[in-house]
Amino acid sequence: MNYLRMEDLDLAGKRVLIREDLNVPVSDGRVTSDARIRASLPTIRMALEKGAAVMILSHLGRPVEGEFDPQFSLQPVAICLGELLGREVRLQKDWLDGVEISPGEIVLCENVRFIPGEKKNDEGLARSMAALCDVFVMDAFGTAHRAQSSTEGVIRFAPVACAGPLLDRELKALAKGLHHPVRPMMAIVGGSKVSTKLSVLDNLLDKVDELIVGGGIANTFIAASGHDVGKSLYEPDLIHDAQMLIQKAHAKGGSIPIPVDVVVAKAFSNDAEPMVRNVDEVNDDEMILDIGPLTAVEYSRMIAGAGTIIWNGPVGVFEFRNFAAGTRAIAEAIERSSAYSIAGGGDTLAAIDQFGVTDDISYISTGGGAFLELVEGKVLPAVAALEAAAAR
Examine residue 108 and tell whether it contacts ligand ADP (CB under 6 A): no
Examine residue 341 and tell whether it contacts ligand ADP (CB under 6 A): no
**Enclosing H/E stretch for 369:** helix 368-375
Closer CB to ligand ADP, residue 108 or residue 357? 357
Q: Which position among 15, 36, 50, 146 bears the catalytic label?
A: 36
Give the C-alpha separation, 217 to 291, whole Å: 12
Q: Is 292 a known active-site residue?
A: no
- Contacts (CB under 6 A) with ligand ADP, residues 274-303: 288-289
Q: Is 369 a known active-site residue?
A: yes
Q: Is 193 a known active-site residue?
A: yes
Closer CB to ligand ADP, residue 99 or residue 343? 343
Q: Which position among 169, 369, 377, 378 bears the catalytic label?
A: 369
Q: Which of 143, 150, 308, 312 touches ligand ADP by CB under 6 A? A: 312
The full DSSP string for 19-70 is E------EETTEES--HHHHHHHHHHHHHHHTT-EEEEE---S-PPTT---G
Closer CB to ligand ADP, residue 58 or residue 312? 312
Examine residue 346 and tell whether it contacts ligand ADP (CB under 6 A): yes
**Distances in Å between the alpha carbon of 242 and those of 35, 142, 190?**
37, 29, 14
Q: Which of 76, 142, 164, 313 touches ligand ADP by CB under 6 A? A: 313
Packing angle of the helix pair 165-179, 368-375 (nearest 10 deg)? 40
- Contacts (CB under 5 A) with Mg ion, residues 332-361: 346-347
Examine residue 233 and tell whether it contacts ligand ADP (CB under 6 A): yes
In the chain, the amino acid numbered 358 is T
Q: Which of 23, 128, 192, 341 touches ligand ADP by CB under 6 A? A: 192
Examine residue 345 and tell whether it contacts ligand ADP (CB under 6 A): yes
In the chain, the amino acid numbered 261 is D
Min dist CB 325 to Mg ion, Å, is: 20
The full DSSP string for 294-306 is HHHHHHHHHHHT-
CB distance 114 to 72 below 8 Å: yes
Q: Is 346 a known active-site residue?
A: yes
Examine residue 326 and tell whether it contacts ligand ADP (CB under 6 A): no
Give the C-alpha separation, 14 to 265, whole Å: 62
Closer CB to Mg ion, residue 181 or residue 314? 314
Residue 314 binds which one of Mg ion, ligand ADP, none, with CB within 5 to 8 A depending on kind?
ligand ADP
CB distance 392 to 157 below 8 Å: no
Examine residue 216 and tell whether it contacts ligand ADP (CB under 6 A): yes
Residues 6 or more apart in contact with residue 356 via CB below 8 angstroms: none
Give the C-alpha separation, 317 to 321, whole Å: 8
Examine residue 314 and tell whether it contacts ligand ADP (CB under 6 A): yes
CB distance 154 to 160 below 8 Å: no
For the annotated catalytic residues, the residue numbers are 36, 193, 346, 369
Q: List interacting residues with Mg ion (CB under 5 A).
A: 346-347
Q: List interacting residues with ligand ADP (CB under 6 A).
A: 190-192, 215-216, 219, 233, 288-289, 312-314, 316-317, 319, 345-348, 368
